[in-house]
Amino acid sequence: MKGFVHDMMNSFNIGPNAVQVGVDTFQTSVKAEFYMNTYQDRPSVQQAINNIAYHSGLTHTGEALRFMHTDSFSAAHGMPVTEPIYPTSPSWSLTDSQTTRPSRLRKAKAARDAGITILAIGVGHGVVRSELNEIASDPDSTHVFTADSFSALSSLNALLSTKACEVSKPHAQPHTAPNCAAKADVAFILDSSGSIGATNYQKMLQFVRDVTSKFDVGPDKVRIATEIFSDRTFPQFNLNRYTTQQQVDQAIANIPYKQGTTNTGQALHDAYTTIFNQNNGDRPGIPNIAIVVTDGRSTNRPNTLAEAQKLRNSGVQVFAVGVGGGVDTSELNAIASDPDSSHVLTVQDFSQLASITASLNSQACADSDDNDSSARMPGQLAKLQSVCITRGVHELRRVVAQQLRCKLWLLS
């Protein structure tokens, strides 16, 4: 875990007028290992992290949250009183087990109400997802992360760097330039089942329009395809149909609603046999990304999982977006590429889809940028290459102007 935190520091421009980092550890008690104004450069911070000692004990997460809020994020320890905390103060919480005092988790709300954005990271099988959700800022789908083991924590580095950037930037952002300006073939696979309803269906289409607006669409840049599914599949347009973002946007707005059941497996089958096909605009050597949006369980789970495996084996990176209480999280995890923490996003209802637009774009870009390896995908040559220059990398280089202040606190 210390190695993970140490490596995270490589993403930050640490200095008194740039990124400030502090670390708390907690078990039965809480200890400030060092405050945000203790060290003024990256080597000093990384050496201090390496020197943190391990102390065993119980998991008093609530006390750690209170200490972070009232002590670590204070003017005496590096937080200027002249600046509002929000949105320049992300906090990471890392733990591998359930708190021993669940009632104390209300301290997380006090910290959030003070303007601290909290990202919760659970490691291993002893974590309780509902507890992580209670600790983290909303929406949970973009503030809660999990790793199967401490060895797997490194897979979250790029994603958390990007998320820190999103938290730190000003609210008012111009949208004149696309976030992804390289090459990719992207397919949206959209649930059109009867449980969605016409109103929510339009919200889903707006979500897709918002996501595609971040891509630099063009015949030699990003290509977009869409398919809807209910009882059967209904291809809407192929990768080589439209050549501008305006054309794509209008085509998405006109996608009809065709009610029925949830034949997810057939939609996934069509993705690797028809959509990502050279006859329909798929380009050899260009990364393939599929984004599946659904509000429920598939009608044939075994078939869905088998087709998802074939889709991933063909070299496609798959993101699964679940909406509402009817989704089967385990099925979403089985559909999506690994790790699930960066390929599965969930929201409570269709009105919240807009809240994950930036995160989905960032994760797709970060995922493409960090997984340029054919060994990760069996079958044909893996197409996943660097698609985008992630906002996290570039904006963190400009973090001096934004004065991002980070607080990491660890389970010791």
Per-residue pLDDT tens digits for 85-137: 433 455 666 666 566 665 556 778 888 887 788 888 888 887 788 888 888 88
Cβ–Cβ under 8 Å, residues 197 and 302: no
Q: What confidence score (pLDDT) does residue 231 get? A: 95
For the residues 181-187, what does the mean pLDDT come to?
82
Length of the chain: 412
Q: Which of 55-69, 110-124, 225-239, 373-387 has the lowest mean pLDDT?
A: 373-387
Residues contacting residue 278 through CB under 8 Å, at least 6 positions apart: 284
Q: Which of 152-156, 171-175, 327-331, 390-394 has the lowest mean pLDDT?
A: 390-394
Instruction: Compute the CA torsion angle 300, 302, 306, 309 (nearest 10 deg).
Output: 100
336: which DSSP letter? S
| CA atoms within 13 Å, Cβ hemisphere of 374 | 7
pLDDT band at 256 (very low <50, low <70, confident <90, very high): very high
Q: Residues 130-157: pLDDT tens digits? A: 888 888 888 777 788 887 788 877 767 7
Instruction: Round to whole Å and give the CA distance between 290 and 319.
Output: 6
Question: What angle separates helix 357-370 from helix 198-212, to the nearest 10 degrees?
Answer: 50
Q: Residues 293-307: pLDDT tens digits? A: 999 899 999 999 999
Give the rounded percent of residues in the chain with a pLDDT score beyond 70.
Answer: 74
Q: What confidence score (pLDDT) does residue 374 get? A: 35
Backbone angles phi, psi at 130, to 5 degrees: -60, -30
Report which secondary-structure segment, H or E, holds 95: strand 90-95
pLDDT band at 347 (very low <50, low <70, confident <90, very high): confident
Q: What confidence score (pLDDT) does residue 100 get? A: 63
CA 370 to chain centre: 14
Comparison of pLDDT for 68 and 293, the residue scoring more? 293
pTM for the whole structure: 0.54
Q: Is pLDDT at 31 greater than 80 in this prediction? A: yes
Instruction: Round to whole Å and give the CA distance between 324 and 116.
Output: 27
Angstrom CA distances, 27 to 65, 95, 121, 145, stand at: 12, 10, 16, 21
Q: Is pLDDT at 403 greater than 80 in this prediction? A: no
Q: What confidence score (pLDDT) does residue 1 get? A: 87
Q: Is pLDDT at 264 greater than 80 in this prediction? A: yes
Q: What confidence score (pLDDT) does residue 158 get? A: 65
Query: Token pair for residue 348?
Result: 């409570």
Instruction: Round to whole Å and give the CA distance between 177 and 402.
Output: 20
For the residues 255-276, what does the mean pLDDT come to?
96
pLDDT band at 342 (very low <50, low <70, confident <90, very high): confident
